[in-house]
Structure 1
Amino acid sequence: MDFVVNASTMPLGATKRSKIRRAKDIKLRNNLKQLDRRYKDARRAVKSSEYLLQEDIGGLEAEGMERTFKFTQEQIKQEVDISTAAKGFDLRLEDYGPYCVDYSRNGRKLLLGGKRGHIAAFDFREGSLDTELHVNEIVRDVKYLHNDTFFAIAQKKYVFIYDKSGAEIHCLKKHIEVTHMEFLPYHFLLATVGNAGWLKYQDTSTGDQVAELRTKLGPSSAMALNPWNAVVHLGHANGTVSLWSPSSSTPLVKMICHKGPVSSVAIHRGGNYMSTAGMDGQLKIWDIRNFREVHAYYTPTPATSLDISERGLISVGWGPHVTVWNDAFRTKQKSPYMTHLSPGSIVNDVKFCPFDDVLAFGHDNGVTSLIVPGSGEANFDTLEVNPYETLQQRRETEVQGLLNKLQPEMITLDPNFVGDLDTRAPEERQRMVNLETTGEQDLKKKEYEKKLEPRAKQRGRNSSLRRYLRKRTNNVIDDRRVRVQNALEKEKKMRQNLWKDEHGLPSDERKFGLALARFAK
């Protein structure tokens, strides 16, 4: 019994294999086989990764004439589950505002800091309070360190580090009048900038101050950390944004972003985009790869705070309003994704929660937590940051982080760049070797003594014009040059005969010179 097989009904892999076998060129056939193996490996990798991606990314969807920015928090809480609805709350703390907020790296803990001295750290999911302090002085900024057991507070004059129970661990007296702070988790560095305009890096693992850089641009009005290359972005009152590394005393890049002071800066997690807000009422999106403006938005009131979520949503706090923009890096949006109004209080600070669809913002009357569907990363790497880590896992993660700590010299604009060929001259390389072996003072002393050695003076030998004329007329013989040489020889003979009298004796001029010959007799 014969069977007729149609090629269109055959499996796709069988059709490809038959075409590969029919290839006459051996090299082409091997290349096609290798390409087919790559396709199979890619399909196998995609199928295996589906087992790890258990959660789907949600979001707000409007039907018909509806708009997502018209949805209120009450309507969203009615549609989500009970545990998610409990994450949206409003803390009324009118006596200690305005507040600044910060989340821990795993998104478990929330840190609050009131400008009038109130500090609180708690687990907002379970509602358990870790610590609550009243320092009785101004608080400008709060920041969690490598985990939720330590946090830094920028108080009136110095920066203080507290533990989970609220006990004071350390006082950083070299960090004076700090207004903004950022923590580099892979370098264990606390970066601060204050009213004096000095950017300082403090190593929290050893307690040493790594760098102290003068910005020369006055007090910094904004500060943000690029999570991709650990470069610190500072916003200044003249509308510029400067990029800093602890290994450079000058800014890596200086960008003119606004016509007025820069009020806030935020960096995308991928490190390619930056969002800035200025007092000129503009919200701008920048491409850091080529330092060009991508989009620009207008805010009725100058924005005071910005933050970018893990999924690329931008939250903007301006006046009593909080506006969230979705997919603002690819195309310019005509309307925002979500809006929220906090009546009677100015928004001071906004912050997205890692690995969760939650946005917290501090204002004059306390702290409010909003539910923003689609803002958090649904599938995370527990080997990197684990929101559900135990006490033993937290200890192991801290030890591994200290063992794998990166050096401050590795902070550059392009972290993928390893090195380049040394194109310096051999003398320069030998000079650097001598500098490392003999020491800088000895080398400077030898160079100074070498400069003091006397040199023979040469009159008229350093003129570039004379060197040029000599090279030009050295091998050229013309009539003018012959006449000049004959005239010079004739004049020389006349001068020799002038010093002899008729008896062949030397004259008074030859004996006493032209100036004293008249006094000889």
Structure 2
Amino acid sequence: MAASITMHDQKQSQRKVLKKKSVRYFQESSEKEESTSIQKSEEHGEIKKLNQVAEKNAERDDSTDDRRKRSKDPFEGPAKVSPQKMKKYSRGERMGRNLEGRTAQHRFNLKRSEQRYELAAKQAARAELLLPEDAGQVLRIPISNLKQHSFLEVGEGSDTYDVRQSEITESVDIGSAAKRFELTLNQFGPYRMDYTRNGRFLALAGKMGHLTAFDWVSKQLLFEINVMETITDVQWLHVETMMAVAQKKWLYMYDNTGTELHCIKSMSSVLRMSFLPYHFLLAAATNYGALQYLDVSMGKMVSEIKTKQGRLDVMAQNPQNAVIHLGHTDGRVTMWTPNQHEPVVKMMCHKSAVRSVAVDPKGRYMATSGIDRTIKIYDLRTYKPLQSYRVAHGANELRFSQRGLLAGASNNIVEIFKDSCTIAQDKPYMVHRLKNPISDLDFCPYEDVLGIGHSNGYSSLLVPGSGEPNFDALEVNPFMTKKQRKEAEVKSLLEKIQPELITLDPNKIGEVDRVTFQQREEDRRVLFGDLPKQTFKPRFRMKGKSKSGRKENRKQIMFEADKREEAKKSVEVKEDEKRRTVEKEEKDNQETEFVSALDRFKKDKS
């Protein structure tokens, strides 16, 4: 009883303490409210000022928003690109909505690649404004207004071929005028010549053994030697530190100091050469009718084709697909790849021997000249003739420029035609006459210059509008340093294309083979014949002998057995047919033999 009383007293005391604490809490909260109200009343003036400033800022923001809405940009978003430029840089037709793919991820990847292609075309079209030169600008006489990479156009009553080199030299700037010069080398000619891909260096090779190379812009000599042997052709390789020289007996390689690097005895009696820069292949046409391909990166002979067409002294390269064009004495032009020992195309171009062949840089048109004094233009997409021009003498050399100008050399006269492939021209664009017969000519890349090799040396002519004004520094750079050249060489070696990929249509490699199941079955049936159908069903066996792997093995064993039986039956059928044909032939021979009445007296051999 006493314990219960004490427990009751403790509870009562705890309630009193809690009541006191709650009263204390409410008193403290009321005191805090009074203190905060006093502070608010003291700071009321400052708060009022801050509210006024905030209202003013809000009004100012509203006014700026209204002003922005009123002055809205009439050309929102990025600038539009013309459809013509987009078509120029397009990479082909889009696949559209019918994106074929095995899974959703494949279709998503195809869609993303299409978007990337479209973005790349847009960026290329926009970047066209940043090109440093405007290609194709036409300027009229007076010639004093002539600029680099522009065509000539004269007024009424005069022609562009009447404009002389002296007039052009006087009208252009000093830098362009310095590109018109002549070298008198009358002891070792006639001369063959070749420019590097970037148009910076020039190599000259005289028939009597004179070999030289120099920077033709700055006139800085690299080397000058005499090989003491007949030289038939010269060709720069992938860098300006290596060149190939076709001498009387063998093929030699020299560096930019005139030091002999290699002597390739497997290539003898070479007459013409052409270098494939993306494949690192040196194609050579020989005196005995062989077309040889040498891989200069490995020093290995890739292919040697016996054309059976006799002497090969007419050669050209298609830059678009790396196919070699050869001209022959019967008037035909054949096209070759290192993968086939037969020509991929044969074209009958002239009634007489072909003297020269040239292919434009885009690989669309081919120009040929023959002894019949004609220059013919062919479309390489349809292999049909487009134009035919009559010249005073048969053109012994033909060359296309980067802008589509066609230069033809006839004896000592050079005639240059503009738009000769698409439009029939009744007169040339420019004409120049030399004192000596021409042995070789070539347009300098990225310059309005035509180089001519003749029996008295070398001549450099100014041809306005012939060169491409803008170059891709990642592809070819005329101003590259030594370090950049080494890096470009390594990069080109890594991107080397194998010779097996050289085809007549280079787009075939990137296409998808959409062969149907029926076509595959037809091809298989042609190769292997009709195969027996698998009708065998293995019975169930115990102890794990009916697993899927073992079942398939038994099926394959029975399939091979049926296949052997079918082969045996087919062999027996063929033997029966052969025996019947032999018996029939013997019977026919017996019936055709002469039968005499005295044959009954013959003795049997048995």
TM score, norm. by length of structure 1: 0.75
**Whole-Å Cα distance in 1 between the matches of residues 464 and 501 of structure 2?**
37
Match of 2:487 in 1: 396
SS in 2 for 1:311: coil
1:425 maps to which of 508, 519, 524: 524
SS in 1 for 2:275: strand
Tell me by how many angstroms 1:48 deviates: 3.2
Contact 2:244–2:251, Cα closer than 8 Å, also in 1: yes
Whether 1:78 aligns to 2:177 is: no
Counterpart AA for 1:117: G
SS in 1 for 2:261: strand
**Whole-Å Cα distance in 2 between the matches of residues 89 and 60 of structure 1?**
20
SS in 2 for 1:60: strand
- CA spacing shift, 1:297–1:428, aligned 2, 3 Å: same
Contact 1:262–1:279, Cα closer than 8 Å, also in 2: yes
Contact 1:221–1:261, Cα closer than 8 Å, also in 2: no
Percent identical residues: 43
Root-mean-square deviation (Å) = 2.9
SS in 2 for 1:458: helix
Structure 1 gap ranges (5+): 1-9, 15-29, 31-37, 431-449, 467-514, 516-521
Tell me by how many angstroms 1:388 deviates: 1.1
Tell me by how many angstroms 1:357 deviates: 0.3
Tell me by how many angstroms 1:11 deviates: 6.8
Match of 2:128 in 1: 49
Tell me by how many angstroms 1:428 deviates: 4.1
1:332 maps to which of 424, 428, 435: 424
SS in 2 for 1:132: strand
Counterpart AA for 1:293: P
SS in 2 for 1:50: helix
Contact 2:377–2:421, Cα closer than 8 Å, also in 1: yes
- CA spacing shift, 1:44–1:127, aligned 2, 3 Å: closer
Structure 2 gap ranges (5+): 1-72, 78-96, 98-116, 137-149, 530-566, 585-600, 602-606
Counterpart AA for 2:129: E
Would you say how many aligned residue pairs link Structure 1 and Structure 2? Answer: 414
Match of 1:17 in 2: none
Task: Work out which of the two has the higher radius of gyration on C-alpha atoms and give 1 or 2.
Answer: 2
Contact 2:285–2:313, Cα closer than 8 Å, also in 1: no
Counterpart AA for 2:307: T
Match of 1:23 in 2: none
- CA spacing shift, 1:87–1:427, aligned 2, 3 Å: same
Contact 2:135–2:468, Cα closer than 8 Å, also in 1: no
Match of 2:475 in 1: 384
SS in 1 for 2:470: coil
**Whole-Å Cα distance in 2 between the matches of residues 247 and 323 of structure 1?**
37
SS in 1 for 2:493: helix
**Whole-Å Cα distance in 1 between the matches of residues 445 and 231 of structure 2?**
24
Match of 1:284 in 2: 376
Match of 1:512 in 2: none
Match of 1:446 in 2: none
**Whole-Å Cα distance in 2 between the matches of residues 170 and 147 of structure 1?**
16
Whether 1:113 aligns to 2:113 is: no
Match of 1:413 in 2: 504
Tell me by how many angstroms 1:340 deviates: 0.5
Whether 1:147 aligns to 2:239 is: yes
2:453 maps to which of 342, 359, 362: 362
TM score, norm. by length of structure 2: 0.65
Match of 2:226 in 1: 134
- CA spacing shift, 1:204–1:41, aligned 2, 3 Å: closer
2:348 maps to which of 240, 250, 256: 256
**Whole-Å Cα distance in 1 between the matches of residues 161 and 299 of structure 2?**
47
Tell me by how many angstroms 1:366 deviates: 0.8
CA deviation vs aligned residue, 1:30-87 (integer Å, no higher than 9, x gap): 9xxxxxxx99997775343211344444111212212110111100000101011111
Match of 2:268 in 1: 176
Greater relative contact order (Cα 8 A, min sep 6): structure 1 or 2? 1
Tell me by how many angstroms 1:185 deviates: 0.2
Tell me by how many angstroms 1:373 deviates: 0.5
- CA spacing shift, 1:426–1:403, aligned 2, 3 Å: farther
SS in 2 for 1:96: coil
CA deviation vs aligned residue, 1:3-54 (integer Å, no higher than 9, x gap): xxxxxxx97999xxxxxxxxxxxxxxx9xxxxxxx99997775343211344
**Whole-Å Cα distance in 1 between the matches of residues 366 and 495 of structure 2?**
28
**Whole-Å Cα distance in 1 between the matches of residues 225 and 310 of structure 2?**
32
- CA spacing shift, 1:270–1:459, aligned 2, 3 Å: closer
**Whole-Å Cα distance in 2 between the matches of residues 328 and 70 of structure 1?**
19
Match of 1:166 in 2: 258
SS in 2 for 1:394: helix
SS in 1 for 2:431: strand
Contact 1:221–1:262, Cα closer than 8 Å, also in 2: no
CA deviation vs aligned residue, 1:265-315 (integer Å, no higher than 9, x gap): 111111010011111111111101111111011111111111100000001
Tell me by how many angstroms 1:222 deviates: 0.6
SS in 2 for 1:121: strand
